[in-house]
Structure 1
Amino acid sequence: LQDSLFQEVMQKRTPRFFEEGESPAMPLILSVPLVSRKKVIGFLNIHTMYKSIQLTQDKIELVYALASQASIAISNAQLFQALREQAIIDPCTTLYNFRYFQQKLDEEIDVYNSSKEPLSLIILDIDHFKKVNDNYGHVYGDTVLRELGNIMKRNVRSEDSVCRYGGEEFAIIFPHCTQEVTLRIADRIRSRIQETSSHDRRSTFKEPITVSIGVAGYEPEMSKTLFIQRADNALYYAKNHGRNMVSGYDSQLESEYANYQKKK
């Protein structure tokens, strides 16, 4: 806006009347800044197609009143959006947080129940992340979390939801995606993380990072809890059989996971 007609309006934060010929397109009569917290967030402009039209004092006061109400409405909408983002965004990674994950998974299960379109879930865990924090500190640990989150976002579709599940665990919801297809996507993510951290030209990573991933597909009448548990069972299998691998849920994993739970 620096070279526009509204530069003076924006700088002074006061209304400006325009003379005939000042605006090249449709004649502009009046521009009123929309101000919130001493910052211009928009303009309310009055144009006319008729050169002889003049604004009366009553109409000018009405425009000022409308501008004031618009400023309040836009400011409130921005504040609401900021508060909503704080409620659903993880501050460390800027991914969706656990609260959003739970809400979104409920929504996608409802979509499945009405459309029968496939739905899959990934739970990903960073291998030996405690050692990363112990060796290099939590500030670097947070950097690793952010970088891995970015890698995940770059390797999924816009409709997929990448979430920080908690600690060093992440979850990704894949609507319209079978378990078989999701397994291939999961392995691509695993491979990208290993390659990026091993051959890091930016020197962001101090050592190679690997991840273990569990994948589960949703089935009719399944509860959300069971759906998550199946992905978690598959993750446990991956971590218990060498790490740095992807495992898809299979009913045979249940007994192995049950034995593990008994030993805890």
Structure 2
Amino acid sequence: MPYENLAGRTAVVTGAASGIGEAVAVLLAAQGARVALLARREERLAAIAGKIRADGGQALAVVADVTDEASVAGACDRIHTEYGPVDLVVNAAGVMLPHPVDARRGDEWQRMLDTNVTGVLRMIGAFTADLVGAAQDGRTADIVNISSIAAHVSFPNYAVYGATKAAVTHLSESLRGEFGPRDVRVTNIEPGFVESELRTHIADAELSRQVEGMLAEVGALSAEELADLVAYVTSRPRRVNLRQIVALPTRQV
């Protein structure tokens, strides 16, 4: 499906080594955007970027860790050197590490907070000047944050993960007050079950079985279907901001 207004844009996509991030990067590039793919896995990133280029797209593999300020700053510098200013940021990096709160897995709490919340803030901060500048020049500028239905639907053993995603949803709402008056759009997308590597993060065998059982019962959206949503919202006329989208498999209630 063709999308208007994506050709010629410069996008950064985090979590681009797999899942939603990979699918978003591939689709944006197929629609004519220059895409910087940002993630930690160098070989995986290089393979995806190589495939995009082989298919006629423009892609830059940038190895970086959103939990590290210096790493993000270095990635920003490289992207500016190779591509110039950015007008589209998609925050798709995330980790899901469920455990009961009384398991007191402080290391996992910190990892989720650093990736799912602070990582989003680092990326937005790194490219704020680009986004505002693009909007001032009359071009479309977008921030897209991938949150989760867990932001406002509670699941036992997922309290901390849900709290991080609630933070992303609230952050997105608040950022509209800062960026909207400057013509930068902010979109928050809350998926339900999606085929991705997130469920492979689950170390507890019983919790893993529960997730697999739910997926077998209600199914899951594909990463490509979520990418389609990102491409749709970012290709609307610049005066149209689709602020909040909840996307679930039809059988998920």
- Tell me the TM-score range normalised by the shorter chain: under 0.3
Instruction: Please report the TM-score for the alignment, with normalisation by the length of structure 1.
Output: 0.27
Higher relative contact order (CA 8 A, sep 6+): 2
Larger radius of gyration: 1
Instruction: Please report the TM-score for the alignment, with normalisation by the length of structure 2.
Output: 0.28
* Structure whose residues are more often strand by fraction: 1
